[in-house]
């Protein structure tokens, strides 16, 4: 029996994508790679809904966070970091590491950021160079209303940089980069893209390129300008994860055939199915307002009297279902169910069937069953 991998990344990969990765290596300075990159790049632009440059970096998502900081900001620059969870905090920590003067605007975990509070912070201090924000916070299962946030930011500071962690959202939920006037937006291959870890993809606006010309943060491997100069030749500056590029080349053909609207609708449907199923079992989701509940990952409150790690261990060892635990202050308080990328309603139903068997064994008495 195959494992039902229900974490928010790495996500399962289609068999033909895994098969594509088994191809023999090619010359990353040769015509075959150049042709492949020439297919991948415009396909990503279409999926990102942008005319901005799109770069590919051989990296996990955290490398993309670091790249966004070092290419646009200098030590001493002031940045407003909007955090609704662990990954918002990570964005802030990386900026601090490079000497950025970070002001963190944090919101209660399980809630979305308030665009008006962000706008107010920018009105009070006109010295911010950038706003750093997470679109979909994987640690809490909350999706920020990024369109409204961007509109609020531009209403106060039309030229400020907006740097967006879209690692677990882009390609799965709506995020029209150009329509929302965003500057640096990045994602990772291991999320809704159905490709193993190893590639970060980033869209860079003209405003961001101007910032890159001025930025004084040290950078070498993650230098956008190097990446762009090599992209113009159909190459990457450093040796790429060629097998991951093989996989992405095929996946993009599959995703474009499905269509962006259909992909978004599929994730919305599966997200709603997950939330409905959680509530039908007498469990509660972390999201205080379901309008902001993520369509890529659902955070479920561990019921009173239940040990979260024990539940996850039982699900993995006895029911072949891998759930994600809580992170940071939510460790042991939630478990998370990923429903992005290669996942069907049947996969999710199998997860809930297993939960229905496991929960009573770890002390949960369903209020639904008692009625």
Burial 43-74 (b: 16+ CB within 10 A, else e): bbbebbbbebbbbbbbbbbbbbbbbbbbbbbe
- Long-range contacts for 60-63 (Cβ within 8 Å, ≥24 apart)? 60/188, 60/190, 60/197, 60/198, 60/200, 61/165, 61/167, 61/186, 61/187, 61/188, 61/190, 61/191, 61/200, 62/90, 62/94, 63/200, 63/222
DSSP 128-152: EEEEEEESEETTTTEE--HHHHHHH
Whether residues 109 and 31 fall in one domain: yes
Residue 166's CATH number = 3.40.640.10
Calculate helix-pair angle for 115-124, 146-156, nearest 10 degrees: 20
Please name which of 1, 4, 2, 6 lies closest in space to residue 296, comparing C-alpha atoms: 6
pLDDT > 60? residue 16: yes
pLDDT at 209 over 50: yes
Confidence tier at 371 by pLDDT (50, 70, 90): very low
Final residue of a structural domain among 224, 257, 290: 257
Which one of 234, 257, 280 terminates a domain? Answer: 257
28 half-sphere exposure, CB direction, 13 A CA radius: 15
* Helix pair 260-280, 345-361: axis angle to 10 deg: 20
Same domain, 116 and 249: yes
pLDDT tens for each residue of 22-48: 999 999 999 999 999 999 999 999 999
User: What is the average pLDDT score of the chain?
Assistant: 97
pTM, 2 dp: 0.97
Quote the percentage of the chain above a pLDDT of 70.
99
6, containing H or E segment:
strand 4-6
Specify whether the CB–CB gap between 141 and 291 falls below 8 A. no
Do 276 and 161 fall into the same domain? Answer: no
pLDDT digits (tens, 9 = 90+) for 40-80: 999 999 999 999 999 999 999 999 999 999 999 999 999 99
User: Do residues 325 and 278 share a domain?
Assistant: yes
Residues 284 and 253 in one domain: no
Query: Does residue 370 surpass a pLDDT of 80?
Result: no
Q: Name the β-bridge partners of 103.
A: 80
Q: Which CATH number does the domain housing residue 313 bear?
A: 3.90.1150.10
In a shared domain, residues 90 and 184: yes
Residues 92-106 have a mean pLDDT of 98
The range of the structural domain enclosing residue 292 comes to 4-9+259-370
Q: How many domains does the chain have?
A: 2
Of 232, 257, 282, the position where a domain reaches its end is: 257
Question: CA 285, CA 97: separation in Å to the nearest integer?
Answer: 34
Are 245 and 263 in the same domain? no
Residue ranges of alpha helices (H) inside the chain are 15-21, 31-48, 61-72, 86-97, 115-124, 146-156, 206-214, 224-231, 242-258, 260-280, 308-319, 345-361, 367-370
- What are 121-163's pLDDT values in tens digits? 999 999 999 999 999 999 999 999 999 999 999 999 999 999 9
Looking at the structure, tell me whether residues 225 and 264 fall in a common domain: no
- 95 shares a domain with 122: yes
Strands of 297-301's sheet, edge to edge? 4-6, 321-325, 334-338, 297-301
Nearest to 98 by CA among 81, 124, 123, 74: 74
First-to-last C-alpha distance (Å) of the chain: 35
Within this chain, do residues 289 and 327 fall inside the same structural domain, yes or no?
yes
The rounded distance, in Å, linking the Cα atoms of 191 and 168 is 6
Please indicate, yes or no, whether residues 53 and 166 belong to a single structural domain of this protein.
yes
Name the phi and psi angles at 115, rounded to 5: -55, -35
Query: Is residue 369 scored above 60 in pLDDT?
Result: no
> Do 278 and 137 sit in the same domain of this protein?
no
């Amino acid at each position: 029996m195959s494992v039902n991998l229900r974490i928010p990344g790495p996500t399962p990969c289609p068999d033909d994508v895994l098969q594509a990765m088994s191809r023999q290596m090619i010359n990353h300075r040769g015509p075959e790679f150049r042709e492949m990159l020439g297919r991948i790049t415009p396909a990503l632009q279409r999926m990102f809904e942008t005319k901005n440059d799109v770069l590919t970096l051989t990296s996990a998502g955290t490398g993309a966070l670091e790249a966004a900081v070092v290419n646009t900001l200098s030590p001493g620059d002031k940045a407003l970091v909007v955090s609704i969870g662990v990954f918002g905090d990570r964005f802030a920590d990386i900026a601090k590491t490079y000497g950025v003067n970070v002001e963190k605007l944090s919101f209660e975990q399980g809630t979305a950021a308030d665009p008006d509070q962000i706008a107010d912070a920018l009105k009070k201090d006109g010295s911010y160079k950038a706003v750093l924000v997470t679109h979909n916070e994987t640690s809490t299962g909350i999706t920020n209303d990024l369109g409204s946030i961007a509109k609020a930011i531009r209403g106060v500071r039309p030229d400020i940089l907006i740097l967006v962690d879209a690692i677990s959202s882009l390609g799965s939920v709506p995020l029209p980069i150009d329509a929302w006037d965003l500057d640096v937006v990045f994602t990772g291959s291991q999320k809704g893209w159905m490709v193993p870890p190893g590639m970060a993809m980033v869209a860079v606006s003209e405003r961001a390129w101007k910032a890159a010309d001025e930025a004084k943060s040290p950078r070498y491997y993650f230098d956008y300008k190097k990446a762009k100069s090599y992209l113009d030749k159909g190459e990457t500056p450093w040796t790429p994860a060629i097998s991951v590029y093989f996989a992405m080349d095929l996946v993009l053909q599959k995703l474009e055939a499905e269509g962006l609207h259909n992909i978004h609708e599929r994730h919305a449907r599966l997200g709603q199915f997950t939330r409905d199923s959680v509530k039908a079992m007498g469990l509660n989701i972390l999201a205080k307002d379901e309008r902001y509940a993520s369509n890529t990952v659902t955070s479920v409150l561990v019921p009173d009297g239940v040990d979260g790690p024990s539940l996850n261990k039982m699900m993995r060892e006895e029911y072949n279902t891998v759930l994600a635990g809580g992170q940071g202050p939510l460790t042991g308080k939630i478990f998370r169910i990923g429903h992005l990328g290669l996942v069907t309603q049947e996969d999710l139903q199998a997860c809930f069937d297993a939960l229905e068997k496991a929960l009573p064994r770890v002390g949960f008495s369903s209020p639904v069953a008692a009625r």
